[in-house]
Amino acid sequence: MILRKGKTLRKKQLFLEKGKEAVASVLPITLIVAALCLLFIPVETDLMLAFFIGSLMLIVGMALFTVGSDTSMSQIGAHMGARMTKSRKLWLIIAVSFLLGTFITISEPDLTVLATNAPSIDTTVLIITVSVGVGLCLVLCMLRILFAIPFNKILLILYGAVFLLAIFVGRDFLSVAFDSGGVTTGPMTVPFIMALGVGVSSIRTDENAQQDSFGLVALCSVGPILAVMLLSFIYSGSPESSSYALLQSHADTVELGHEYIHALPEYLKEVGVALLPIIVFFLIFQVISLRLPRVPFLRILVGVMYTCIGLMLFLTGANVGFSSLGYVLGGKMADARFRYLMIPLAMLMGWFIINAEPAVHVLTKQVEELSAGAISEKAMRLSLSIAVACAMGLSMLRVITGLSILWFVVPGYAVALALSFIVPPTFTAIAFDSGGVASGPLTATFMLPFAMGACATVGGNVMSDAFGLVALVAMMPLITVQVMGAISTFKSRSAEPVETVSAYGDYDVIELWEV
């Protein structure tokens, strides 16, 4: 009886904790947007009401989703990673890693939002292309862990290939390709891949095994970039104004309610189709190899149910409520009176988005422990806030001026890769992982449509000028975290041992008793 009460209490605490994280993530943006729309920039009342309902659905959906992800996807990843490495069969590790990476990315909510908003590219084609890219890079991650391949050398080769291909890729695909690398490392993929890496690294007994489990998220974010670039050479889709499909109007509250009611089963079906492969894969593993006890097995299935419901609510709120208002608000802000105010406004939103991102708290604590307190959690969070705020500002500058994303990502990644040969390898791995942490759900659901609306108003190319926002958000922390790592290394090397100065001469007689 006492044990049952303890478990119930822990569940309540978990839901309460995830609920607070979801509120902290969504509420700042909601308040900023509400202040803008109620005091300065007029928008349609139905859009504002849809936005408030969408905000509530995002909070509930993110809370349920993160609870389910922690109790199901992370556990599935850890169990499968440990089990397949125990088999000592390389072909099995390669096959399972590819399938898991592909299936888990298909269910990533941020990817779904990006693919839905991307004009000129079929949603299903883009999702499958990106997912296959993640699957292939996850195989590379497993091989790196098993054979202890240096992380920075792999990064140099992969990003060298990225920028070589970028010379030949058209502008319409270039920004979407870089964005796809940021959205794949979202709330579904990150915990699963990290857990899988820990499980695989457990087979090694050397001192660097645990450190090599970092960097999986970073490598998996390069695969989609290369995959979408290669897609651009063979895909011949016709341009569609799917960005304008974000605009939705409702005559009254009943029509708005029906819009949400009709959207729920549609997104439930999409979520079910996305999660089905990973569930089937887990059940097959359970029967053949895992054979988990009844209670842990049922706990994972309940977690999958929470994940499914949370993902349904998240996608419904984002697509029906959030994205529409973001698009309209961005369009009106791009008017001549407010055009250049978009830059500081976007920077302010970026500051709050990164501060409220739940995974950032885990990252900052991790870096503080790694540096033995040399880099405090507060300093780390401040550096990430500055990085994401700058990324948002640069994104709005691109929308206004139409500058190519290559003017930003080429020098940015050049600096990040150069730093990788200076700072300790673990800092490099965490830095590149932090890019996925920074580009959270609100970046894809609100800030990207905001940039798309602004771009449409100024007469720019949505595909080349608005897309790329997620890529800049994912790039900036690569530099700041490594700079913090370089500072930590410099401090530790420059610290000299303090010499103890004797208060007595060599020939002094020291009395050790009292008179």
* Annotated domain spans of the chain: 21-488
Helix and strand counts by DSSP (H, E) for the chain: 22, 0
Q: d(Cα 189, Cα 185) in Å, to the nearest integer? A: 6
Burial class (CB in 10 A: 0-12, 13-18, 19+), 380: buried
Per-residue pLDDT of the chain (515 residues; tens, 9 = 90+): 555 555 666 777 878 888 887 888 788 888 999 998 998 888 888 889 999 999 999 899 888 888 887 788 778 877 777 777 776 778 888 888 898 889 888 878 778 878 887 877 888 899 999 999 999 998 988 888 778 788 888 888 999 999 999 989 888 789 999 999 888 876 667 767 776 776 666 665 555 555 656 677 788 889 999 999 999 998 876 544 444 445 566 667 888 888 899 989 988 887 888 788 888 888 888 888 888 898 889 999 999 999 889 888 988 888 788 888 888 899 888 886 778 888 999 999 888 877 666 566 656 766 676 666 767 777 777 888 888 999 999 999 999 999 999 999 999 999 998 988 888 877 787 788 777 777 766 787 788 889 999 998 888 888 889 999 989 998 998 888 888 878 877 777 766 554 444 444 444 444 444 44
Q: d(Cα 338, Cα 336) in Å, to the nearest integer? A: 6
3-class DSSP state of 404: coil
Q: d(Cα 110, Cα 359) in Å, to the nearest integer? A: 15
Q: Do residues 26 and 59 make contact, with C-beta atoms less than 8 angstroms apart?
A: yes
Q: What is the pLDDT of residue 119?
A: 72
Q: d(Cα 311, Cα 305) in Å, to the nearest integer? A: 10
Alpha carbon distances (Å) from 134 to 9, 141, 201, 389, 422: 38, 10, 19, 27, 28
Q: Do residues 449 and 117 make contact, with C-beta atoms less than 8 angstroms apart?
A: yes
Burial class (CB in 10 A: 0-12, 13-18, 19+), 301: middle
**Distance from first CA to last CA of the chain, Å, rounded?**
68
**Torsion from C-alpha of 235, 241, 245, 249, nearest 10 degrees:** -170
Which residues, other chains included, contact 255 with Cβ-Cβ below 8 Å and sequence gap of 6+? none
- 412-419 contacts, C-beta under 8 A, 24 or more apart: 412/472, 412/475, 412/476, 412/478, 412/479, 413/159, 413/163, 413/475, 413/478, 415/479, 416/475, 416/478, 416/479, 416/482, 417/152, 417/155, 417/156, 417/159, 419/479, 419/482, 419/483, 419/486
Query: Token digits for 506?
Result: 């060599």
